[in-house]
Amino acid sequence: MSPHRPTQRDLDPHLHRYARRTAGMTASEIRALFAVAGRPEVVSLAGGMPYLPALPLDSLAEELAQLVLTDGMTALQYGSAQGTPALRERICEVMALEGIRAHPDDVTVTVGSQMALDMVTRIFCDPGDVVLAEAPSYVGALSTFASYQAQVVQVPMDDDGLVPEALDAVLGALRAQGRTPKFLYTIPNFHNPAGVTLPVARRAEVLRLCAEHRVLIVEDNPYGLLGFDGQIYPAMRASTPDNVVYLGSFSKTFAPGLRVGWALAPHAVREKLVLAAESATLCPPTFTQFVVSRYLAAYDWKGQIKNYREAYRQRRDAMLAALAQYLPPGCRWTHPAGGFYVWLTVPEGLDTKAMLPRAVSYRVAYVPGTAFYAERTDSPGPSPTDAFPGDTFPAGRLMRLSFCYPTPERITEGVRRLAAVLEHELELQRTFGSVRPRPMVGPQSPSPDTA
């Protein structure tokens, strides 16, 4: 044993070799907690895992065996970097439900829509480039933007999603600085994590503002077909094919373990996307593309989506009822009309990140709100959002609750436990006074647990 004390350099002899972007890649502090949260006795309201028992495994097993026997030689072989033509045609049929008219040539199949996000960022963002996103935004997107050293400027939302006036103000402030954002990343339907939906009139307003400022829109829409009353909103891409890159996914409407997503992009952008994807993975898995194609051809996939919707609606109802019944005064939360998530604000003085260990000891887990905000401290130069003192979102008082995976009974029990945690924290506050919330840190790296 060497007698000298180990330093960080000793612990990682490769430390001097990493790229600058790698410095920003750090594991979430809450990751260890989620390992504990995975125990069966904990009700996890943290994860974004779909409720798969709704799937018809018997018929899937049969279809898959047939697929191997009839198409095995092709399905197990390399394929095109853009994805199989058959699946890209099917994807156009799926998008038609949202009013999108698209040609399969403009679709690029990706390894989940996460890879689409990665590819879009790769082709557009140099280090220091500005990307706009909602505040809060999907943790996996923030992590991707960080890995390309983009500067994320987050635009306030309200119960109707992105606030056009706030977007206008941010765009104006950036223009005054001579900076043009590379794109606006937005989740218009059943937002992750906020659970809100952008009304049709606001979509038009956002499209108009982005056109005016020549800012591309990246429309991420994994939950669009999961509206609980069956309403399907028109995609922003439907009216504006030239200025929107649309991201879709089969993870929530079929199964995430296949990792099949896609990007629909203006033709010239699509060419770049395919070249980027080719150097990233050569081609997406041919086999899982065949599985999705066959599923869409052979099975009542719209009926399956109805089953999912119904399962999630029941869970949403259970969560909203439990929140109303158990939570202490001073809490407020969003009322999602679809998707997976409720966004909860806890009473003043509480800190959702600081109280997470207690929650886990009470056998309930959630994702603290700070995970959904980009870190501002390492932004180069003054942050444009500093110009908006109104944007003092109480990130420390926020949390994301997911209702996608546990049964309604478990959701009710989980919220009951969460209420006990909040009561306990409020009791502490009354006894010892308010603790100052910790400064925001984020984005933590995503994981399927927090996605």
Of 162-170, 284-292, 380-388, 429-437, the segment contacting its own copies by CB under 8 A is: 284-292
- Residue from 279, 325, 361, 434 in contact with its own copies (CB under 8 A): 279
Pick one of 29, 89, 168, 271: the residue that binds its own copies (CB under 8 A): 271
CB of 103 to its own copies, least distance (A): 17
Piece of 49-57, 316-324, 336-344, 361-369 that binds its own copies (CB under 8 A): 49-57
If the CB atoms of residues 1 and 268 are measured against its own copies, the closer one turns out to be 268
Q: Is residue 14 within the footprint of its own copies (CB under 8 A)?
A: yes
- Please work out the total of residues on this chain that contact its own copies, with binding judged by CB under 8 A: 91
From CA 349, how far away is CA 244, in angstroms rounded? Answer: 41
The answer to whether 278 contacts its own copies (rule: CB under 8 A) is: yes
Return d(Cα 86, Cα 102) in angstroms, integer. 14
Shortest distance in whole angstroms from residue 1 CB to its own copies: 17
**Residue 216 sits in the site that holds its own copies (CB under 8 A):** yes
Tell me whether strands 107-111 and 260-264 are parallel, antiparallel or unpaired: antiparallel
Q: Which stretch binds its own copies (CB under 8 A): 110-118, 160-168, 388-396, 416-424?
A: 110-118
Does residue 11 belong to the site contacting its own copies (CB under 8 A)?
A: yes
Nearer to its own copies, 256 or 437 (CB): 256
What six digits make up the tokens of 225? Answer: 């077909």
Coil/strand/helix, residue 190:
coil
Binding flags for its own copies, 117-156, as an x/- string (CB under 8 A): -x---xxxxx--x----------x--xx-xxx--------
Q: Which is nearer to its own copies, 105 or 242 (CB)?
A: 242
Does residue number 378 form part of the binding site for its own copies (CB under 8 A)?
no
Which secondary structure element, helix H or strand E, spans residue 184, and what is its range? Answer: strand 183-186
Per-residue contact flags (x/-) with its own copies for residues 231 to 270, judged by CB under 8 A: -----------x--------x---xxxxx------x-xx-
Contacts by 175-181, CB closer than 8 A, 24 or more apart = 175/213, 177/384, 179/130, 179/384, 180/130, 180/213, 180/214, 180/215, 181/129, 181/130, 181/131, 181/132, 181/153, 181/213, 181/215
Can you tell me the distance from the alpha carbon of 8 to that of 26, in angstroms, rounded to the nearest whole number?
14
CB 252 within 8 A of CB 106: no
**Residue 140 in 3-state DSSP?**
helix
Contacts of 174 (CB under 8 A, 6+ apart): 130, 153, 180, 181, 384
Smallest gap from residue 390 Cβ to its own copies (A): 29
The token pair that represents 159 in the structure block: 């119960």
Q: CA 302 to CA 86: how far, in whole Å?
A: 18
Q: Give the interface segment with its own copies, choosing from 229-237, 323-331, 361-369, 439-447 (CB under 8 A).
A: 439-447
Side-by-side strand order, sheet with 130-135: 107-111, 260-264, 244-249, 216-220, 183-186, 130-135, 151-158, 161-162
Nearer CB in complex with its own copies: 53/390: 53
Q: Residues 307, 308, 313, 316: what is their CA dihedral angle, to the nearest 10 degrees?
A: 150
DSSP assignment of 57-110 equals HHHHHHHHHHHHHHHHHHHTS---TT--HHHHHHHHHHHHTTT----GGGEEEE
Residue 293 vs 334, nearer CB to its own copies: 293
Return the number of other C-beta atoms located less than 10 Å from residue 184's C-beta: 25
Q: Provide the total of helices (H) and of strands (E) in the chain, helices listed first.
A: 14, 14
Considering only residues 171 through 210, tell me which ones interact with its own copies, judged by CB under 8 A. 182-183
Under the binding rule (CB under 8 A), the answer on residue 25 touching its own copies is: yes
Q: Does 448 bind its own copies (CB under 8 A)?
A: yes
Determine the interface stretch with its own copies among 21-29, 89-97, 340-348, 419-427 (rule: CB under 8 A): 21-29
Among 92, 100, 111, 225, binds its own copies (CB under 8 A): 111
Cβ proximity to its own copies: between 98 and 118 the closer is: 118
- Rounded to whole angstroms, the Cα distance separating 312 from 337 reads 10
Query: How far is it, in rounded angstroms, from Cα 81 to Cα 92?
Result: 18
- Interaction of residue 442 with its own copies, rule CB under 8 A: no
Does the protein bind its own copies through residue 105 (CB under 8 A)? no
CB nearer to its own copies: give 119 or 320.
Answer: 119
By CB under 8 A, is residue 291 in contact with its own copies? yes
Distance from C-alpha of 44 to C-alpha of 400, rounded to nearest angstrom: 11
Residue partners of 2: CB distance under 8 A and separation at least 6 = none
* Binding to its own copies in span 65-94, by CB under 8 A: 65-66, 68-69, 72-81
Q: Closest CB to its own copies among 305 and 322?
A: 305
Interface residue with its own copies, options 104, 227, 384, 446 (CB under 8 A) = 446
